[in-house]
Protein backbone atom coordinates (compact mmCIF):
# COMPACT_ATOMS: atom_id res chain seq x y z
CA UNK A 1 0.00 0.00 0.00
CA UNK A 2 1.38 3.40 -0.98
CA UNK A 3 2.12 5.97 1.71
CA UNK A 4 -0.13 8.45 -0.12
CA UNK A 5 -3.13 6.17 0.56
CA UNK A 6 -2.14 5.69 4.18
CA UNK A 7 -1.86 9.46 4.59
CA UNK A 8 -5.28 10.22 3.08
CA UNK A 9 -7.01 10.40 6.50
CA UNK A 10 -4.12 12.49 7.82
CA UNK A 11 -4.48 14.94 4.93
CA UNK A 12 -8.24 15.10 5.52
CA UNK A 13 -7.73 15.88 9.20
CA UNK A 14 -5.18 18.55 8.34
CA UNK A 15 -7.62 20.16 5.91
CA UNK A 16 -10.34 20.26 8.58
CA UNK A 17 -7.91 21.80 11.05
CA UNK A 18 -6.97 24.59 8.65
CA UNK A 19 -10.62 25.24 7.83
CA UNK A 20 -11.52 25.43 11.50
CA UNK A 21 -8.92 28.00 12.46
CA UNK A 22 -5.62 29.68 11.73
CA UNK A 23 -2.67 27.68 10.45
CA UNK A 24 -0.01 26.54 12.90
CA UNK A 25 3.73 26.30 12.38
CA UNK A 26 6.08 24.10 14.36
CA UNK A 27 5.78 20.49 15.50
CA UNK A 28 2.89 18.20 14.53
CA UNK A 29 2.12 14.54 15.28
CA UNK A 30 -0.62 12.47 13.65
CA UNK A 31 -1.58 8.87 14.48
CA UNK A 32 -4.03 6.93 12.30
CA UNK A 33 -5.26 3.43 11.51
CA UNK A 34 -6.23 4.54 7.99
CA UNK A 35 -9.71 5.82 8.80
CA UNK A 36 -10.74 9.42 9.39
CA UNK A 37 -12.64 8.48 12.56
CA UNK A 38 -9.51 6.96 14.08
CA UNK A 39 -7.09 9.73 13.06
CA UNK A 40 -5.73 12.06 15.74
CA UNK A 41 -3.51 15.09 15.21
CA UNK A 42 -1.68 16.69 18.12
CA UNK A 43 0.07 20.07 17.88
CA UNK A 44 2.99 21.07 20.10
CA UNK A 45 1.56 22.77 23.21
CA UNK A 46 -1.96 22.07 21.92
CA UNK A 47 -4.90 19.99 23.11
CA UNK A 48 -3.91 16.37 23.72
CA UNK A 49 -0.17 17.03 23.92
CA UNK A 50 1.05 14.87 26.80
CA UNK A 51 4.01 17.20 27.37
CA UNK A 52 1.71 20.18 27.95
CA UNK A 53 3.51 23.51 27.68
CA UNK A 54 6.94 21.96 27.04
CA UNK A 55 8.22 23.36 23.76
CA UNK A 56 9.73 21.24 20.98
CA UNK A 57 8.35 17.99 22.44
CA UNK A 58 5.04 16.35 21.69
CA UNK A 59 3.33 13.16 22.91
CA UNK A 60 0.16 11.18 22.22
CA UNK A 61 -0.96 8.28 24.39
CA UNK A 62 -4.17 6.38 23.79
CA UNK A 63 -6.09 3.82 21.74
CA UNK A 64 -6.44 4.04 17.96
CA UNK A 65 -8.88 1.60 16.39
CA UNK A 66 -7.70 -1.97 17.03
CA UNK A 67 -4.51 -0.68 18.65
CA UNK A 68 -5.45 -0.65 22.32
CA UNK A 69 -2.49 1.44 23.48
CA UNK A 70 0.10 3.46 21.63
CA UNK A 71 2.55 6.08 22.88
CA UNK A 72 4.11 8.33 20.27
CA UNK A 73 6.76 10.91 21.18
CA UNK A 74 8.29 13.50 18.87
CA UNK A 75 11.11 15.90 19.71
CA UNK A 76 13.02 18.54 17.79
CA UNK A 77 15.85 20.99 18.39
CA UNK A 78 18.04 23.54 16.65
CA UNK A 79 21.78 24.23 16.94
CA UNK A 80 22.36 21.41 16.17
CA UNK A 81 19.21 20.40 14.32
CA UNK A 82 17.43 17.13 15.12
CA UNK A 83 13.99 15.60 14.62
CA UNK A 84 13.23 12.29 16.38
CA UNK A 85 10.21 9.99 16.56
CA UNK A 86 9.85 7.32 19.25
CA UNK A 87 6.96 4.97 18.49
CA UNK A 88 5.67 2.38 20.97
CA UNK A 89 2.71 0.15 20.20
CA UNK A 90 1.62 -2.16 23.00
CA UNK A 91 -0.59 -4.56 21.08
CA UNK A 92 -3.73 -4.84 18.97
CA UNK A 93 -7.08 -6.60 19.14
CA UNK A 94 -7.04 -7.35 15.41
CA UNK A 95 -5.28 -6.87 12.09
CA UNK A 96 -4.41 -3.39 10.94
CA UNK A 97 -1.76 -0.82 10.12
CA UNK A 98 -0.89 2.09 12.38
CA UNK A 99 0.57 5.12 10.58
CA UNK A 100 2.51 7.72 12.58
CA UNK A 101 3.64 10.99 11.01
CA UNK A 102 5.82 13.57 12.78
CA UNK A 103 6.37 16.89 11.01
CA UNK A 104 8.54 19.90 11.77
CA UNK A 105 7.91 23.05 9.69
CA UNK A 106 9.85 26.32 9.28
CA UNK A 107 13.27 24.67 9.30
CA UNK A 108 16.11 26.95 8.22
CA UNK A 109 19.02 24.50 8.54
CA UNK A 110 20.13 23.29 5.09
CA UNK A 111 23.34 21.30 5.64
CA UNK A 112 23.63 17.51 5.11
CA UNK A 113 22.07 15.34 7.83
CA UNK A 114 22.70 11.90 9.28
CA UNK A 115 19.90 9.36 9.72
CA UNK A 116 19.40 6.88 12.54
CA UNK A 117 16.90 4.02 12.71
CA UNK A 118 16.71 1.57 15.59
CA UNK A 119 13.85 -0.90 15.70
CA UNK A 120 12.65 -3.16 18.48
CA UNK A 121 9.87 -4.50 16.30
CA UNK A 122 8.39 -7.82 17.38
CA UNK A 123 8.95 -10.65 14.94
CA UNK A 124 6.52 -13.16 16.42
CA UNK A 125 3.03 -14.09 15.24
CA UNK A 126 0.91 -11.07 14.46
CA UNK A 127 3.52 -8.39 13.75
CA UNK A 128 4.25 -8.47 10.03
CA UNK A 129 6.06 -5.27 9.15
CA UNK A 130 7.59 -1.97 10.15
CA UNK A 131 8.58 0.77 7.69
CA UNK A 132 10.07 4.22 8.17
CA UNK A 133 10.70 7.02 5.69
CA UNK A 134 12.00 10.56 6.15
CA UNK A 135 10.93 13.29 3.73
CA UNK A 136 11.70 16.97 3.22
CA UNK A 137 9.72 19.56 1.31
CA UNK A 138 10.66 23.02 0.05
CA UNK A 139 6.93 23.84 0.23
CA UNK A 140 7.23 23.98 4.05
CA UNK A 141 3.91 22.11 4.27
CA UNK A 142 3.27 19.62 7.05
CA UNK A 143 3.29 15.92 6.06
CA UNK A 144 4.63 16.80 2.57
CA UNK A 145 6.60 14.04 0.81
CA UNK A 146 8.38 15.88 -2.00
CA UNK A 147 11.93 14.62 -1.44
CA UNK A 148 12.75 11.21 0.06
CA UNK A 149 15.85 11.44 2.27
CA UNK A 150 15.82 8.03 3.96
CA UNK A 151 13.79 4.82 4.06
CA UNK A 152 13.93 1.50 5.87
CA UNK A 153 11.75 -1.56 6.39
CA UNK A 154 13.72 -2.53 9.55
CA UNK A 155 15.59 -5.14 7.50
CA UNK A 156 16.93 -2.95 4.69
CA UNK A 157 17.97 0.68 4.81
CA UNK A 158 18.19 3.16 1.94
CA UNK A 159 19.90 6.53 2.13
CA UNK A 160 18.36 8.91 -0.37
CA UNK A 161 19.89 12.02 -1.90
CA UNK A 162 20.16 14.78 0.68
CA UNK A 163 18.57 17.52 -1.43
CA UNK A 164 17.95 20.06 1.31
CA UNK A 165 21.21 21.89 0.56
CA UNK A 166 19.49 23.23 -2.57
CA UNK A 167 16.52 24.66 -0.67
CA UNK A 168 16.36 28.43 -0.73
CA UNK A 169 13.93 29.09 2.15
CA UNK A 170 12.37 27.43 5.15
CA UNK A 171 11.19 23.87 4.63
CA UNK A 172 9.42 21.01 6.39
CA UNK A 173 10.60 17.54 7.35
CA UNK A 174 8.41 14.51 8.04
CA UNK A 175 9.20 11.16 9.65
CA UNK A 176 6.60 8.61 8.53
CA UNK A 177 6.36 5.16 10.15
CA UNK A 178 3.95 2.29 9.68
CA UNK A 179 3.49 -0.72 11.94
CA UNK A 180 1.39 -3.57 10.55
CA UNK A 181 -0.23 -6.47 12.43
CA UNK A 182 -1.90 -9.41 10.67
CA UNK A 183 -3.86 -10.55 13.74
CA UNK A 184 -4.47 -9.79 17.41
CA UNK A 185 -1.12 -9.53 19.18
CA UNK A 186 -0.35 -8.32 22.70
CA UNK A 187 3.40 -7.78 22.48
CA UNK A 188 5.07 -4.40 22.07
CA UNK A 189 6.59 -2.94 18.93
CA UNK A 190 9.13 -0.16 19.49
CA UNK A 191 10.81 2.03 16.91
CA UNK A 192 13.05 5.11 16.94
CA UNK A 193 13.83 7.18 13.84
CA UNK A 194 15.87 10.36 13.72
CA UNK A 195 17.29 12.95 11.32
CA UNK A 196 20.00 15.12 12.78
CA UNK A 197 23.22 17.01 12.21
CA UNK A 198 26.23 14.68 12.57
CA UNK A 199 27.80 14.69 16.01
CA UNK A 200 30.93 16.91 16.32
CA UNK A 201 32.95 13.82 17.31
CA UNK A 202 31.95 12.07 14.08
CA UNK A 203 32.92 15.11 12.05
CA UNK A 204 36.26 15.25 13.86
CA UNK A 205 36.93 11.57 13.11
CA UNK A 206 36.22 12.13 9.42
CA UNK A 207 38.54 15.14 9.47
CA UNK A 208 41.32 13.12 11.12
CA UNK A 209 40.89 10.34 8.58
CA UNK A 210 41.18 12.80 5.69
CA UNK A 211 44.22 14.40 7.32
CA UNK A 212 45.85 11.00 7.81
CA UNK A 213 45.21 10.07 4.19
CA UNK A 214 46.81 13.33 3.06
CA UNK A 215 49.90 12.72 5.20
CA UNK A 216 50.21 9.19 3.85
CA UNK A 217 50.02 10.41 0.25
CA UNK A 218 52.71 13.03 0.90
CA UNK A 219 55.01 10.40 2.43
CA UNK A 220 54.49 8.08 -0.55
CA UNK A 221 55.39 10.90 -2.96
CA UNK A 222 58.49 11.73 -0.90
| pLDDT tens figures, 60-96 | 999 999 898 899 999 999 988 999 999 998 888 888 8
Strands, E assignment, the chain: 27-32, 39-43, 57-64, 67-77, 82-89, 96-107, 114-119, 127-137, 147-152, 157-159, 171-181, 189-196
Structural domain count, the chain = 1
Q: Residue range 154-183: average pLDDT?
A: 85
Residue 28 pLDDT class (50, 70, 90 cuts) = very high
Say what the pLDDT of residue 73 is. Answer: 96
Residue 175 β-bridge partners:
102, 134
The C-alpha atoms of residue 221 and residue 219 are separated, in whole angstroms, by 5
> Does 176 have pLDDT greater than 80?
yes
Q: Residue range 146-153: average pLDDT?
A: 90
- Among 116, 99, 120, 130, CA closest to 29: 99
Q: Is the full-model pTM beyond 0.95?
A: no
Residue 161 pLDDT class (50, 70, 90 cuts) = confident
Q: Residue 109: give the domain boundaries.
A: 3-221
Say what the pLDDT of residue 133 is. Answer: 94
Say what the pLDDT of residue 188 is. Answer: 79
Cβ contact 115:159 at 8 Å: yes
Amino acid sequence: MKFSKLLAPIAAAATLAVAAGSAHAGLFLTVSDGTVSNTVEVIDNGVGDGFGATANAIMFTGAIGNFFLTTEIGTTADNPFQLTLNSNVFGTTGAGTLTVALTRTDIAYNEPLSFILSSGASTGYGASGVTTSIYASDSNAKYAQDDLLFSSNAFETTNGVDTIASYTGTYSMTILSTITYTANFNQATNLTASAKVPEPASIALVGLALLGAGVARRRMKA
